[in-house]
Structure 1
Amino acid sequence: MRVTLKLATSLDGRIATGSGESKWITGEAARVEGHRLRAGHDAVMVGVETVLADDPELTVRLPRSDEIRQPLRVVLDSRLRTPATARLANPGTMILTAAEPRPVGTAEVERVEAPDGRPAPAPALEALARRGCASVLIEGGGQVAASFLGAGLVDRLEWFRAPILLGGDGRPCVAALALAKLADAPKFRRVSAEPVGDDLWERYDAIR
């Protein structure tokens, strides 16, 4: 499974202000590239906090989008907090949970291994593989990013940085990794950097 983590942040790696405002940190050109990234993956994944905060659609919205195969939309939702009224609570969405499965709108709900109370990254990917997915784009939030980075499962970073600073009270793009040593930090090699509108688009490949 090819795992890509997409980040859209301020220069200091924040995805929202302390109050939770996040639309829009990056500009329109970066958002268009984000939709192209979605179109290039079999699945798009977010955590339930992103669903509760933003109620995203996670669809590909580009010119001639009706001709584009939409990716499977995936929500990691430990306690099944996704509202039945959410825009993701419909066919084409798979909710992976640690709880006893129950209906959430018309979305598919599957229980996966969750040793710490959250759906574990590897079993989540196995569930996607059973659905025929070979690639997944992780779009948020910070806890999901940290869990996949901590498990060493992220192959590529697609990082869009806006030329703004949000400060230490802003919400980080990656939650705590509980690193004791620098040697344990996930390592990446930058493969490209280019402007996209007023933002900077950086690409990194994992160093195994």
Structure 2
Amino acid sequence: MRLGTQGMDVTLKLATSLDGRIATAAGESQWITGEAARMEGHRLRAAHDAILVGVETILADNPELTARLPGRPVGQPLRVVLDSCLRTPPTAKVTTGDSLILTVAEPAPIGAAVVVRVESDHGRPSVSACLTALRRRGVSSVLIEGGGQVAASFLRAGLVDRLEWFRAPILLGDEGRPCVAALALARLSDALRFRRLAVEPCGDDLWERYERLP
């Protein structure tokens, strides 16, 4: 696996409608993509040292963030939550086992998770500081799974090396929640550019793979 510019391989996984939405306006998101895409998502989790999401994903879906594959060994990727104000409930599934919460608040116990304070960037955990904290724990590859604000933060910082994009053949419209929040681009020439590596069917969905252009 090729290491990115920060000495860390960073992959952003997206599971969206055709128009790039990850949920309805009311927040319903399970399941946009089908079973085959979800299984490939578990294989991607198993191939990375850590899985990273924002606290909004925890509050909306309460995911386990584990790699659930037939015959998989007991070991699992480190589960990481970016949580500025420590809103992760102690009963959240992610707080059991090997998990890390990165915050800009004063650390406090949350379940069995390790809570670490990192440098702030406009009130949110600095993404570069987050990667530094992960490297200190021996992580060399991380899979970002959402939500839109977290995806945008890593993209704006130029820290996403690859995209793994699963698109379902549905449309949710402008009121749906976007997979990437605002990037604050003023000109088309500022757009983030990627090279397409592959496109293939995945059940009823489409699986697209991209790498960042230098």
The TM-score, its normalising length taken from structure 1, stands at 0.98
Match of 1:59 among 42, 62, 66: 66
Q: Deviation digits for residues 53-77 of structure 1, max 9, x if unmatched?
A: 0000000101012x15310000000
Structure-1 residue corresponding to 2:116: 110
2:17 to 6, 10, 17: 10
- Which of 23, 35, 52 is equivalent to 2:42? 35
* Pairs within 5 Å for 1:184-195: 184-195=190-201
Cα drift, residue 186 of structure 1: 1.1
Counterpart of 1:100 in structure 2 is: 106
1:15 is matched by which residue type in structure 2?
Answer: I
How much does 1:184 deviate? 1.3
Residue pairs, 1:113-132, within 5 angstroms = 113-132=119-138
Question: Which residue of 1 is the match for residue 97 of structure 2?
Answer: 91
Give the match's secondary structure for 1:88.
Answer: helix
- Code of the aligned partner of 2:196: R
CA displacement at 1:90 relative to structure 2: 2.2
Question: 2:139 corresponds to which letter in structure 1?
Answer: C
Matched residue type, 1:136:
V
Post-superposition offset of 1:106 = 1.2
State the identity %. Answer: 71
What is the letter of the counterpart of residue 7 of structure 1? L
Q: Give per-residue Cα distances to partners, 1:155-177, cap 9 Å, x unaligned.
A: 00000000000000000000011
The alpha-carbon deviation at position 182 of structure 1 amounts to 1.2
Aligned pairs (5 A) from 1:160-171? 160-171=166-177
Aligned mates of 1:91, 1:101 — CA distance in 2: 18
Report the CA distance between 1:89 and its aligned residue: 1.3
Corresponding position: 1:176 with 2:182: yes
Out of 49, 68, 75, the residue aligned to residue 81 of structure 2 is 75
Name the amino acid aligned to 2:91: T
SS of aligned partner of 1:178: coil
Partner of 2:155: 149
Contact 1:15 1:171 in 2 (8 A): yes
User: In structure 2, what is the Cα distance between the partners aligned to 1:56 and 1:112?
Assistant: 23
TM-score, normalising length from structure 2?
0.95
Question: Is contact 1:188-1:207 (8 Å) kept?
Answer: yes
User: Is 1:50–2:53 an aligned residue pair?
Assistant: no
For the residues of structure 2 that align with 1:175 and 1:192, how far apart are their CA atoms?
25
Give the secondary structure class of the aligned counterpart of 1:109. Answer: strand
Deviation at 1:115, TM superposition (A): 2.5
Opposite residue 10 of structure 2, the aligned amino acid is: V
Give unpaired runs (5+ residues) of structure 1.
none
Q: How far apart are the structure 2 equivalents of 1:141 and 1:135?
A: 18
Partner SS, residue 7 of structure 1: strand
- Root-mean-square deviation (CA, aligned residues, Å) is 0.7
Instruction: Give the Cα–Cα distance (whole angstroms) in 1 for the partners of residues 184 and 135 of structure 2.
Output: 29
Correspondence for 2:26:
19
Distance across 2 between alignment mates of 1:40 and 1:115: 29
How many pairs are equivalent? 207
Conserved 8 A contact 1:39-1:68? no
* SS of equivalent to 2:14: strand
